[in-house]
Structure 1
Amino acid sequence: MKVSVGYDGSDQSKLALSWAAEYALASQAVLRIVHAWIWPMFTHDVGPVKGVADSGLRHAAEAILSEGVEVARGIAPDLEIEPRMVAGLPSDVLRRESLDADLLVVGSRGLGGFLGKLVGSVSVGLAATCPASVVVVRAAREEGKPVIACVDGHLRSSKVLEQAVSAAQTLQTKLRIVHVDPPMPAWGRHSPSQFHGRDVLRNAMLHVQGLDPGLAVSEELLSGHSVSAVLVDAGADAELLVLGARRREGHPGTLASVLTHAHCNVMIAR
């Protein structure tokens, strides 16, 4: 297994790196630390300043990456680490560097300060387009908090459940399955059966029990006019909220809203 994590030295990326290192250690995975080096896109003068030791943009980038490796080593001294410094915009670099990874971990805000405004929302963009599953880290790891799998009854829900089970096993915590029933439609429009939500949850429970019969798992039927608001509330006490990349819970607008407002870490399962 391989876990990739974006690191730029910001507080958000340090939080993401710590979470990724702990997860990689627990899952016996290789940790790839990726620093997207943006300055070669703007200038060729990246080398040291003549007569000034340890200067230049290249040296600064190498120092950031080395710092990331040291942070990871402090968490897990025996962890296998692949440091990577790649020129390019963070979203493009991280997307390419996650092609052979099982999981990509990023901070909730991407690059900070001026560069953050320049490149836009890295985490939201990657959550919508990255080929690998993505975890957007907003909070440090806390023992005892559950993993929450958000299912909608479509085929993509099986991927959500499989990765939620794997995450719960890795984090050694319980799993909660939730489904959000849509509000009642306007008169004359198609309305799903009143038992639809319960059927979705029952099928999800059966799927999870087939994956890991011994896993502690519960189910909850939720409702509300805003799916994203309901999911944000559901994740208030969670370690990880797992969403699909498609369908209602995975709609781009829903993903962006959950990633913006969630208090917990969010996984986009693929």
Structure 2
Amino acid sequence: MEEHRSVIAGYDGSDEAAAAIRWAARHARQRSLPLHVVHCSLWPLLTRNLGPVPGVAGSGLERAAEAVLEEGLQIAQAAAPALDIDATLLHGLPASHLAAVSARQELVVVGSRGLGGFLGLLVGSVSLELAATASCPVAVIRSDLHPDGPVVVAVDALGSPAALSDACTLASAAQAALTVIHVHQTPAGYAHHGRHWGGDAAGAVLQEALHRARKQAPSVPVDGSVLHDVSVPHAILEASAAARMVVVGTKGQGLLRETIGSTAHAVLHHAQGPVLVSRRGGSY
């Protein structure tokens, strides 16, 4: 019997996490998938005194954690009434729990930075760790949303099949335009008079990606372009400034920058809007 797959959304009470919950609820409704809201309480790592204050109803750290989860559930219900929504309170580090809960699921959704971002990283420690360790796609939602913009996906020289598939799924669910880009990294000094070194091969990569995208997402408009830049991340960021979502792939697993790929790392840190990091293989 096939396992029922869900959209997983982490919530920690922050504004960023609330935006992620709303996005996740709407996306789950578009795809007719259940939503699973998760809150991870850090308090057991800091103290054993979780119980209520004697004589004070509704007090205590455990009750506070339950209230955060209930708030996340209410936000999801308001964003997508009648959606099948479950909620779970866990205790411990959020990234580890979210990676475990989201295994074999459709998608895990988090805010760009929230209360779990205590390491001071620009994008938040939870988002960065999930992008490196999750076994399903990871959507990092920022408040700078462009609901009328296209889904933009970057494909590499091998076509980034996983990222392209995830982008087609997103665009089809939202009935949004899909823009496919391939960045040809042009060494400084090679671009003169409108001519670019290696442009024919880059054009072939794009055309093959467009062909596959139109087959996978036949109900939405698909276009694309080859971009020439000395920096692949810079080109992606420029092209996705008004995107409702930019989709990139990644390589490897782990917590270090190199293990998620320098391009995915840069886009995750600097994109103006939401980013989906494809964790089903492929490179950038």
Structure 1 length as normaliser, TM-score? Answer: 0.90
Distance in 1 (CA, whole Å) between partners of 2:114 and 2:136 is 17
Distance in 2 (CA, whole Å) between partners of 1:224 and 1:87 is 45
2:220 matches 1:215: yes
Partner of 1:256 in structure 2? Answer: 265
Q: CA deviation at 1:142?
A: 4.1
2:208 matches 1:203: yes
Partner of 1:179 in structure 2? Answer: 182
Distance in 2 (CA, whole Å) between partners of 1:46 and 1:160 is 43
- Partners of 2:16 and 2:143 within 8 A in 1: no
Match for 2:73 among 65, 69, 78?
Answer: 69
Change (3 A) 1:118 1:185: closer
- Partners of 1:128 and 1:252 within 8 A in 2: no
Number of residues of Structure 1 aligned to a counterpart in Structure 2: 262
Change (3 A) 1:75 1:140: farther
Segments of structure 2 that go 5 or more residues without pairing to the other structure are 191-195, 253-258
- Partners of 1:19 and 1:140 within 8 A in 2: no
Partner of 2:12 in structure 1? Answer: 8
Q: CA deviation at 1:158?
A: 1.1
2:136 matches 1:132: yes
Q: CA deviation at 1:140?
A: 6.1
Counterpart residue type for residue 107 of structure 2: L
SS at match of 1:53: coil
Counterpart residue type for residue 264 of structure 2: L
Distance in 2 (CA, whole Å) between partners of 1:84 and 1:242 is 28
2:52 matches 1:48: yes
Distance in 2 (CA, whole Å) between partners of 1:181 and 1:78 is 45
Counterpart residue type for residue 20 of structure 2: A
| Residues 66-215 of structure 1 aligned to structure 2 (within 5 Å) | 66-111=70-115, 116-117=118-119, 121-139=125-143, 142-154=146-158, 157-184=160-187, 193-215=198-220
Distance in 2 (CA, whole Å) between partners of 1:150 and 1:238 is 12
- Partners of 1:18 and 1:72 within 8 A in 2: yes
User: Once the two structures are superposed, what CA deviation does each residue of 1:46-101 show, in whole Å capped at 9, x if it has no partner?
Assistant: 11111111111100000000011111111122111110111111111111111131
Q: CA deviation at 1:220?
A: 1.0
- Partners of 2:25 and 2:76 within 8 A in 1: yes
| Identical columns (%) | 37
SS at match of 1:160: helix
Distance in 2 (CA, whole Å) between partners of 1:19 and 1:51 is 40
SS at match of 1:28: coil
SS at match of 2:241: helix
